[in-house]
Structure 1
Amino acid sequence: MKKTLMLLAALAFTTAGTSFAQTAPATTTTKVKMHGGKGGHGPKDPAKMADHKAGKMAKELGLNADQEAKVEQLFLARQQENQALKAKYGADRNAARTEMKASHEKYEAQLKSILTPDQYAKFDKMKDEHRGHGKMQGGGKTKVKAKA
């Protein structure tokens, strides 16, 4: 546990040190979208993303400090593994599908072991709502009656 935290701290300091070592700011006139998210802010630091996601989850599910730390480590490890898979397979998502599915199942099982049954049930419900399940009934199809 301590080794993992020390490794994460060293990684964070190394990343922070290299980001401040830039000699001149890049000047561009257009925003370039570097990721699929909102805005043109570019890719985020995996450690910051893991911290943000764990904090949000702690707030929504009522995690204690120990659970939040474990969830943050889990998210960071998952992001690093996903980056490795993206580097390995590139844009060929079909080739990576089985490894990605196995990775997802592994992390879901680890998350389930960290959370209480009530917290996991709430998390599962939030996932479904986020994906759009429960928002529309009948597979998203709506019937429109024609006026006579």
Structure 2
Amino acid sequence: MKKKLVLALSIFAATFALSTESVKAQDGRGERPQQNLTPAQRVDNQIQRWTKALSLSSDQVNQIKPLLLELNQKRDAMRDAPDKRAAMREMRDLVTAQDAKMKTILSAEQYTKYEDIKDEAKDRMKGKFGGRN
């Protein structure tokens, strides 16, 4: 009887721990839930957010999706780069090129909102990791 009770409590504790981690990942409190996603999954999430925030048309989504996918794939590849500074410079150049392409795809109003979204993300990152002065 004791063995069954201990086993049942162990299973309950393990299930509770796993469900807690799952909830943290789903609500954004997990350590880095986006890191476990594939580049395509991250792009789909980003497209959903941008479609809502920027009122993207289906044509715009079809033009933006490959840009985001390429950027996310290169970002993943750069995480393992031996020269982090060079990788960061390359990523900065890629983002600058993406911004130029986005400017041709989005309307002036959408592009302004896009820049606001990017600025808010930068502010969140500075708050989370501490900005450089």
TM-score when normalising by structure 1: 0.57
Q: Following superposition of structure 1 onto structure 2, how do residues 1-148 of structure 1 map, counting pairs within 5 Å?
A: 38-39=29-30, 41=33, 43-87=36-80, 89-90=81-82, 92-132=83-123
Q: Secondary structure at the match of 2:36?
A: coil
Which is richer in helix? Answer: 2
Contact 1:53 1:72 in 2 (8 A): no
Percent identity over the alignment is 30
Q: Distance in 2 between matches of 1:115 and 1:74?
A: 13
1:126 CA drift (Å) = 2.2
Deviation at 1:71, TM superposition (A): 1.6
Q: CA RMSD in A?
A: 2.9
Q: Aligned partners of 1:97, 1:51: CA distance in 2, in Å?
A: 24
Alpha-carbon distance in 2 for matches of 1:83, 1:71: 19
Q: Check the 8 A contact 1:67/1:114 in 2, yes or no.
A: yes
Q: Deviations over 1:112-141 (max 9, x none)?
A: 1111111001111222233339xxxxxx9x
Displaced runs of 4+ in structure 1, greater than 3 A? none
**1:58 Cα deviation from its structure 2 partner:** 0.8
Change in 2 beyond 3 A, CA 1:44/1:95: same
Letter in 2 for 1:109: A
Tell which has more relative contact order, 1 or 2 (C-alpha 8 A, sep 6+). Answer: 2
What do residues 34-65 of structure 1 show as CA deviations (whole Å, max 9, x unaligned)? xxx74265610211110110111011111101
2: CA distance, partners of 1:93 / 1:58? 32
Aligned residue type for 2:45? H
Q: In the alignment, residue 107 of structure 1 is paired with which amino acid?
A: Q
Structure 1 unaligned blocks of 5 or more:
1-26, 32-36, 134-139, 141-148
Q: TM-score, length-normalised on structure 2?
A: 0.62
Letter of the aligned partner of 2:67 in structure 1?
L
Number of residue pairs matched by the alignment: 101
